């Protein structure tokens, strides 16, 4: 009974989970009442512990949610920063590619302009070469025309000299027989015909080439002079032959 009367001290010594036994309605309690009270108290304590555990779990879950949300926010912010950095890198790449394209286009334009200048220079060089070749051809053609005209003059002079020599020989041989005079005149005519044929061949070849109008005029004039000289030579030969026939007739009469 003493233990029951002073149960508070004993209870406090045995366990610290129970409150003061003085909360019991009466001090005079039996052992069964004390056991019931302890069971009720333990049930209250377990509920309290459960509530504490639930609250702690809720608080920990809230902290975890806050941490996860902050981690998500940090991830979102880092992803946003990464996206901004990637977009800025893409913009820089696009700007650098645009600059490279502009530089390449400017380089292509410079190459095209340089190639156009080279083509213009080459075309001007070709035109200069063509003009110089045309001048050289004109000079060579004029030189050939001068050579042909000089050769024609030389031939005319030689033919006139030959005609004069033939005429002088014909005059010196007037005292010979008429047969010899006729042979000489026929040979002179043959030579004159051959020389006139050569002159005509040269004039026809010059006309076929048609190098210049001045060359044609000179050749035509030279052929005309040759024809005049040949006609004059023929006249001289006719006169010499007539003189020889007259002298023969005078001799025969004498």
8-state DSSP, 23: G
Q: How many other β-carbons are positioned within 10 Å of the β-carbon of residue 4?
A: 14
Please report whether residue 159 resides in a domain.
Answer: no
More confident residue, 37 or 210: 37
Residue 31: CA count within 13 A, CB half-sphere: 3
Supply the angle between the helices 31-172 and 213-253 in degrees, to the nearest 10.
Answer: 20
Q: Examine residue 21 and state whether it is found in any structural domain, yes or no.
A: yes
Tokens at 139, concatenated: 């000079």
Q: Whole-angstrom Cα distance, residue 141 to residue 211?
A: 7
User: Is-contact 181 244, C-beta < 8 A?
Assistant: yes
Give the percent of the chain with pLDDT over 70.
Answer: 72
Average pLDDT of the chain to the nearest whole number: 76
Residue 235 tokens read as: 């006249």
Cα dihedral 135, 137, 140, 142 sign: negative
Residue 188 forms part of a structural domain: no
Q: Is the pLDDT of residue 193 over 70?
A: yes
CA distance 43 to 114: 103
Examine residue 36 and state whether it is found in any structural domain, yes or no.
yes
Q: What is the mean pLDDT of residues 229-246?
A: 77
DSSP, residue by residue, 33-47? HHHHHHHHHHHHHHH
Closest-CA residue to 176 (of 232, 245, 239): 245
Classify residue 117: in a domain, yes or no.
no
pLDDT of residue 21: 54
Query: Is 195 inside any structural domain?
Result: no
62 located within any domain: yes
The number of folded domains in the chain is 1
What range defines the domain where residue 15 resides?
Answer: 2-75
Sorted by sequence, the CB contacts under 8 Å of residue 20 that are 6+ apart come out as 8, 12
* Domain-embedded: residue 65: yes
Percent with pLDDT over 90 in the chain: 13
Can you give the length of the chain in residues?
254
SS3 17: coil
Q: What is the per-residue pLDDT across 87-96, written as a single tens digit (0 to 9) for each? A: 888 999 998 8
pTM higher than 0.75: no
């Amino acid at each position: 009974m003493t233990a029951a009367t002073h149960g508070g001290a004993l209870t406090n010594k045995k366990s610290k989970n129970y409150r003061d036994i003085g909360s019991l309605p009466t001090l005079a309690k039996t052992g069964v009442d004390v056991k019931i009270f302890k069971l009720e108290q333990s049930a209250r304590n377990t509920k309290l512990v459960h509530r504490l555990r639930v609250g702690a779990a809720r608080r920990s879950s809230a902290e975890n949610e806050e941490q996860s949300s902050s981690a998500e926010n940090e991830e979102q912010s880092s992803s946003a920063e990464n996206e901004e950095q990637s977009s800025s890198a893409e913009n820089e790449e696009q700007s650098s590619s645009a600059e490279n394209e502009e530089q390449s286009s400017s380089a292509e334009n410079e190459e095209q302009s340089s190639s156009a200048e080279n083509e213009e220079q080459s075309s001007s060089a070709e035109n200069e070469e063509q003009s110089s070749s045309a001048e050289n051809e004109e000079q060579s053609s004029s030189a050939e025309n001068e050579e042909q005209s000089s050769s024609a003059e030389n031939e005319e002079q030689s033919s006139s000299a030959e005609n004069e020599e033939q005429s002088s020989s014909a005059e010196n041989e007037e005292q010979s027989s008429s047969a010899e005079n006729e042979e000489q005149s026929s040979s002179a005519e043959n030579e004159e015909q051959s020389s006139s044929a050569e002159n005509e061949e040269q004039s026809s070849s010059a006309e076929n080439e048609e190098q210049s109008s001045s060359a044609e005029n000179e050749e035509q004039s030279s052929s005309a002079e040759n024809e005049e000289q040949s006609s004059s030579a023929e006249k001289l030969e006719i006169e010499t032959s007539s003189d020889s026939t007259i002298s023969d007739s005078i001799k025969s009469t004498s």
